[in-house]
Amino acid sequence: MNTPEPNFQRILLVDDDLVVRAQVSESLAQDGFEVILAKNGDDGIAAYQEHRPDLILVDAVMPILDGFEFCEQLKNLGERLTPILMITSLDDNESVDRAFASGATDYITKPINLSILRQRVRNLIRQSHLIKNQLNELQQANQNLKSLVNLDSLTKLSNRRGFDDYIQKEWDRMRRIKAPLSLIMCDVDFFKNYNDRYLHPNGDLCLIEVAMAMRNTVRRSGDLVARYGGEEFAIVLPNTDALGAVSVAENVRTAIKNLQIVHEASSVCPHVTISVGVSTIIPTAENDFQALIHAADRALYQAKSQGRDRVTMLVA
């Protein structure tokens, strides 16, 4: 006994001939397939939608809805991957061309040689299995590529593109549920001086440590930490009010200071510190997330103007 490919065990047989349905289903059952029966094209469409078979056998000539029309309707439903083996007593070139044009993958003529049928079925299912695996691998590769496109190569945080996509998505979501959206903008104090004193490779290491500390401090799954540009970072806090955002900002500022990265070129502290601007808004249809960014930027400017190494809050 032959065993069907794993995960491909269900076959839909659409044929108006009771004898054919009985013979074919019995033969395929010997290979371990579950066979779903339909006596015409309309019933076949309904059975397809209910059971989502791994392969379809359909008679070309049937009342109500023939095999060609059945295939066309499947295409209209968006079906492209399920292999279709058309059973036909028509073997002229025109009928064969019509079968393939309507969406059939292969065909077999009547009277049906059951041994040949079973071999065709196994081959089609095996091919379908390989194609679906390849498509899954391609989709995964595309997803990985998308992740890389939105990832900062140095810090492994989201980059500016990832930030823009995420804050737009969360803006729309918070607007729908009428909930607050908060944004934290952080800037490493006197980072140019740090690079000048310790050189750029050490500057990169400093940014990596700062990024890791931020990521370890901002722990909710729905929050996003991003490298906004250069030594500037952004933290998106969905469904977070002003008080909660300021608390997160203070925790982040403290975490960075506690790293105790030596910074002898800083005017405010012998270690690396950050200035932080915070803003909160309940999104509406009358504004967009740029208003939130501008408010957080102004708050960050105030934090720098007031002496750095501090958190400043502004309402958007």
- C-alpha 89/C-alpha 96 separation (Å) is 10
- 10 Å Cβ neighbour count for 10? 15
- C-alpha 59/C-alpha 66 separation (Å) is 7
The full DSSP string for 53-83 is -SEEEEESS-SSS-HHHHHHHHHHTT--SS-
User: In a 3-state reduction of DSSP, which class is residue 182?
Assistant: strand
What is residue 285's DSSP assignment?
A: T
* 13 neighbors 24 (Cβ within 8 angstroms): yes
- C-alpha 199/C-alpha 45 separation (Å) is 68
The residues with which 277 forms a beta bridge, in sequence order, are 185, 312
**Helix residue spans in the chain (DSSP H):** 18-29, 41-51, 67-76, 93-102, 114-149, 160-177, 191-198, 200-217, 242-258, 289-305
Catalytic-role residue among 231, 250, 264, 286 = 231
Catalytic annotation on 231? Answer: yes
Task: Specify the long-range contacts of residues 297-300, CB closer than 8 Å, at least 24 apart.
Answer: 297/185, 299/185, 300/185, 300/186, 300/187, 300/275, 300/276
Catalytic residues: 231
